[in-house]
Structure 1
Amino acid sequence: MNFAYLNKMESCRDPGTRLYSTSQTTVDSSEVRTFRALAHKWWDEQGAYAPLHSMNDLRVPFIRDNLLKTLTEHQPGNPLSGMKILDIGCGGGLLTEPLGRLGASVTGIDPVDENIQTAQHHKSFDPILTKRIEYKACSLEAIVEENIETFDAIVASEVVEHVTDLETFIRCCCRVLKPGGSLFITTINKTQLSYALGIVFAEQIAGLVPKGTHTWEKFVSPEKLESILESNGLSVQTVAGMFYNPFSGYWHWSQNTSLNYAAHAVKSTAQETTVSAELVQSGESGTPS
């Protein structure tokens, strides 16, 4: 829901610098116009991004609790202290800020300048976040080479349904993620129900999100997402359904993944990757007899 990604964005900029682009189009101009027009509304809890504000009630604990499972000890007040997190498609910082307040060092990236400017401005109200959060106006692809195996966790919340090449996106995530690191994704399933409720109702009838925000063809099923993750050395730990009640304005966990869902995957360690590669080369199945 945050932005439109395209392949091969060649630059990564701090806010205020001009966009450098190759001859190839890097950002879907129609979607950028949509998010640019709404950039000043990110922190309006009753506005266009109200569902994302409410989603924090689920996604923040989901990320926090799964990361805590990987830590032998943590500070009670700053449970994610020492962890480096990349928030892809951070928008105005709705998820970036609570992760920073949990003690993590968070890098938030988004290709829409106005989103990053809004995020920077809002961050300035909390001195603690100034030291913990860094924002950059860029795509994921633009920062890969300088951040190989840098992050303990990556968050892509309401992002992959805007990606033009999901496999490339996941591959890039894997490259900047440390071995044993976690990838968290929330997105929309590709079903008839998600089209009816996610586009027809949410966009065209109820106006819960701006018209044109989503393209049903870009939605991805948990099965396809899991296949792509595993082919890139990521082991899926959890897939959980999410349901948004437009009348109450709250999200709930659900056993049904036909609409929205959250996924948590862990990157294989170097040792696991080496063993798997050796088994493939030797033609063994990897299952002891």
Structure 2
Amino acid sequence: MSNQVNADPAELAKFSELAHRWWDMDSEFRPLHDINPLRLGWIQAIQPLSGLKVVDIGCGGGILADSMARAGADVLGIDLASKALKVAQLHALEAQTPHVQYREISAEALASERAGQFDAVTCMEMLEHVPDPQSVVRACADLVKPGGWVFLSTINRNAKAFALAIVGAEYILNMIPRGTHEYSKMIRPSELAHYCREAGLSLAHTKGLEYNPLTRRYRLSDDTSVNYMIAVRKVA
């Protein structure tokens, strides 16, 4: 593999250190478990997954990949955090999840190997952790078939997102470890839309994800000022 892998070693180390806690519902990964049914339902409403070949980029411990496989997709989860991938593989074995595989490879390397082979691509909560998010978006576009869907999620970059996603979530509510997110790496929806257009992906749907600290629940909304997801389609 090239030495120019689009990954931050510190980010990989951070998530590898916590790898054994991925499937602990009361751990630092609880927010991912809480939002997973919402994002899976949103994806399914746009493109039912049953029978599709899907690649989940930045799959971590496999929370989304596992649920998409259980929804009937044939899923390949990829990541560069070795320990998280081992946890994902172990969970799939223990839970006897069908039609899911995991592989340690970058999005860019997989795109050069398997271009145009997937019906859908997911890349959730990952773009804000890599040095070159635009490169990942291009890889997503290369991996998906013409007319196929790419689903992306990340965090907006503005004062409200800084206050809620960093100060609130990391320092006040202690929902996630301090240092999980860097403000400079957050991505405005306009920037992500630009990356997609440059890669030949057409924006079709946008959805916000809001957290209520009193009820400790998430909900989908039209407010994209903090956490948001977009669905884009490869121009046929």
TM-score of the two chains, using structure 2 as the length reference? 0.95
Compute the displacement of 1:26 (Å).
5.6
1:31 Cα deviation (Å)? 1.9
- Of 153-162 and 31-40, deviating more is 31-40
- Which runs of no fewer than 5 residues in structure 1 stay unpaired? 1-9, 11-20, 69-79, 270-289
Report the AA paired with residue 91 of structure 2.
H
Asked if 1 retains the 8 angstrom alpha-carbon contact of 2:152 and 2:230, the reply is yes
Q: How far is 1:174 from its partner?
A: 0.7
Residue 208 (structure 1) aligns with: 175
Contact 1:222 / 1:239 at 8 angstroms: preserved in 2?
Answer: no
The answer (yes or no) to whether the contact 2:6–2:106 under 8 Å persists in 1 is no
101, 104, 110: which is aligned to 1:143?
Answer: 110
Which of 161, 173, 178 is the equivalent residue of 2:128?
161
Q: Deviations over 1:8-37 (max 9, x none)?
A: xx2xxxxxxxxxx63x57642322221111
Letter in 1 for 2:103: K
CA apart distance, 1:262 = 1.1
How far the C-alpha of 1:245 sits from its partner, in A, is 2.2
- Where 2:72 maps in the other structure, the secondary structure is coil
1:80-110 Cα offsets, whole Å, 9 max, x none, are: 3320001011111110111001110000011
Q: Secondary structure at the match of 2:228?
A: strand
CA contact (8 A) 1:54 1:249 kept: no
CA contact (8 A) 1:57 1:251 kept: no
Structure 1 residues 40 and 208, CA, compared in 2 at 3 Å: closer, same or farther?
same
2:46 to 66, 70, 84: 66
Q: Does 1:28 align with 2:4?
A: no
Contact 2:156 2:189 in 1 (8 A): yes
State which of 101, 104, 127 in structure 2 corresponds to 1:134. 101
2:137 matches 1:170: yes
| CA drift at 1:230 | 1.5
Cα distance change on mapping 1:25 and 1:179 into 2, 3 Å: closer
Q: Which moved more, 1:246-255 or 1:52-61?
A: 246-255
Identify the residue that residue 95 of structure 1 maps to in structure 2. Answer: 64
Instruction: Give deviations 1:104-127, integer Å, cap 9, x for gaps.
Output: 000001100000000000000233
1:86 equivalenced with 2:55 (yes/no): yes
Q: Is the 8 A contact 2:6 2:132 kept in 1?
A: no
For each residue in 1:196-215, what CA deviation from the matched residue of structure 2 results, as whole angstroms up to 9, or x when unmatched? 11111211222211111111
What is the CA-CA distance between 1:165 and the residue it aligns to? 1.2
* Structure 1 residue identity aligned to 2:16: R
Do the aligned partners of residues 186 and 223 (structure 1) sit closer, same or farther apart at CA in structure 2, a change above 3 Å counting?
same
1:152 aligns with 2:119: yes
Query: Separation in 2 of the partners of 1:195 and 1:133?
Result: 35
**CA deviation after TM superposition for structure 1 residue 222, in Å:** 1.1
Bigger Rg over Cα = 1
The answer to whether the 8 A contact 1:240-1:257 is kept is yes
- Aligned length, in residue pairs: 236
Aligned partner of 1:44 in structure 2 is 24
Aligned match for 1:227, one of 178, 194, 204: 194
* Structure-2 residue corresponding to 1:104: 73
Residues 247/138 of structure 1: CA separation in 2 closer, same or farther (3 Å cut) = farther
Quote the Cα distance in structure 1 between the aligned partners of 2:170 and 2:45: 32
Q: Does 1:189 align with 2:156?
A: yes
Worse-superposed segment, 85-94 or 138-147? 138-147
Sequence identity of aligned pairs in percent?
38
The answer to whether the Cα contact below 8 Å between 2:6 and 2:130 also exists between their aligned partners in 1 is: no
Stretches of 4+ aligned residues off by more than 4 angstroms = none
